[in-house]
Amino acid sequence: MSLTRVALVVTTGALAPVLVLSAPALAAGATPPAAGPAATEAGSPYDSMTEDELRIAILRVLNDPESGVGVRREAQEALDGTVEDMRYFWETGIVLAQAEDDRVAIARLLGDPATGMGVRREATEALDAGTPEALRYFLETGIVLAQAEDDRVAIARLLGDPDISDALRAAAEAALDDGSPEALRHFVEVGQYEV
């Protein structure tokens, strides 16, 4: 299960009881309760799940080919543990395990000699930030933007060569004019070799 799907399930699970239980009371003209200790200590959506529901959800994570080593390890430990262990996995463990997997993925990028300067800079910033959100943002969005920067540099270097053909120059300029990360990446990986 991808982290996006997990986040969607968590958000839906957290919001559904709130929306279902509070909307009718407010619609009837009742005043909303004051935010006191009882109101702010709402239980987790996983508190209402049965042991079987928790196990099924964890098994889905284990069977997801996109789950990393850390997520699989923590999921298996939760599955082997108590109901509280399974709830902890959903509330905290999966986020920490995903962050561990994200750190490994970023370290592999940094270890690759083909990784460009923009990607290296953004990857290092994500690692320095150290938060699960920063790591995930880099792997989902930041890497695409940083790679586009590296691709622009590669295309500019190519255009700086006085010996390139007119067709290659036109294709490179068209990729730069388009400016999208996809067009730049396509030109660097494929387009320059098709001209």
Tell me: the pLDDT tens digits for 139-188?
999 999 999 999 999 999 999 999 999 999 999 999 999 999 999 999 99
Percent of the chain with pLDDT over 70: 77
Dihedral sign for Cα 86, 92, 93, 94, please.
positive
Instruction: Report residue 17's pLDDT band, with 50, 70 and 90 as the boundaries.
Output: very low
Q: Is residue 195 predicted with pLDDT exceeding 60?
A: yes
HEC states along the chain?
CCHHHHHHHHHHHHHHHHHHHHHHHHHCCCCCCCCCHHHHCCCCHHHHCCHHHHHHHHHHHHHCCCCCHHHHHHHHHHHHCCHHHHHHHHHHHHHHHHHHHHHHHHHHHHHCCCCCHHHHHHHHHHHHHCCHHHHHHHHHHHHHHHHHHHHHHHHHHHHCCCCCCHHHHHHHHHHHHHCCHHHHHHHHHHHHHHC
What is the radius of gyration, based on Cα positions, of the chain? 24
Specify burial of residue 157 (Cβ count, 10 A radius: 0-12, 13-18, 19+): exposed
Contact status, residue 132 vs residue 102, Cβ threshold 8 Å? yes
CA distance 176 to 140: 23
Dihedral over alpha carbons 157, 139, 125, 175 (to 10 degrees): 20
Of 46, 131, 119, nearest to 86 (Cα)? 46
pLDDT digits (tens, 9 = 90+) for 26-37: 334 433 344 434
pLDDT digits (tens, 9 = 90+) for 51-88: 899 999 999 999 999 999 999 999 999 999 999 999 99
CA distance 59 to 76: 8
